[in-house]
Amino acid sequence: MEHAGKNFPEPTIETEAYWDGCRNRELLIQQCNQCGKSQFYPRMMCTNCMSRNVHWVKATGKGKVKTYTIIHRAISKAYAKEAPYVVAIIELYEGPSLMSNIVGCHPRDVNVGQEVEVTFQDWSEEITIPMFTPIERD
């Protein structure tokens, strides 16, 4: 029950494919069949051309840190044991941005512009959360 009390997402009819993807260790985003634009979070239409003809694609899972913060005062008890933890906005190579945690490094080592890739954290049998970690360069 390592993650008990955290803010578990509740998948909806619109988002369950995304959360199924996470469970299978795939980061899914949507792409428009009409204009080709990629988007996140999932929607029933393309935010660019309003076409309803959007489909799921597997993202590279790679992107860069647009901004981040190191949270010292956790939002609730369940998160206190993670503090200090990093919340960041990541711009995926495909274009869309999303919020996530940066894990697998010291918070001090996170930078704006840093390249990161997705990693998955299992919170329960149903819920797996995508997080990001710095891409190691040789």
Q: Is 66 helix (H, G, I), strand (E, B) or coil?
A: strand
User: In 10 A of CB 126, how many CB atoms?
Assistant: 13
Least distance from another protein to the Cβ atom of residue 112, Å: 4
- Indicate which single residue of 92, 100, 116, 118 sits in contact with another protein (rule: CB under 8 A): 100
55-94 mask for another protein (x: CB under 8 A)? Answer: -----------xxxxxxxxxxx--x--x-xx-xxx-----
Q: How far apart are CA 4 and CA 80, in angstroms?
A: 12
Q: How far apart are CA 63 and CA 114, in angstroms?
A: 8
Scan for tokens 């309003």, then name that residue: 50
Q: State the residues that interact with another protein by CB under 8 A.
A: 6-12, 15, 40-41, 66-76, 79, 82, 84-85, 87-89, 97-101, 107, 112-113, 123, 129, 131
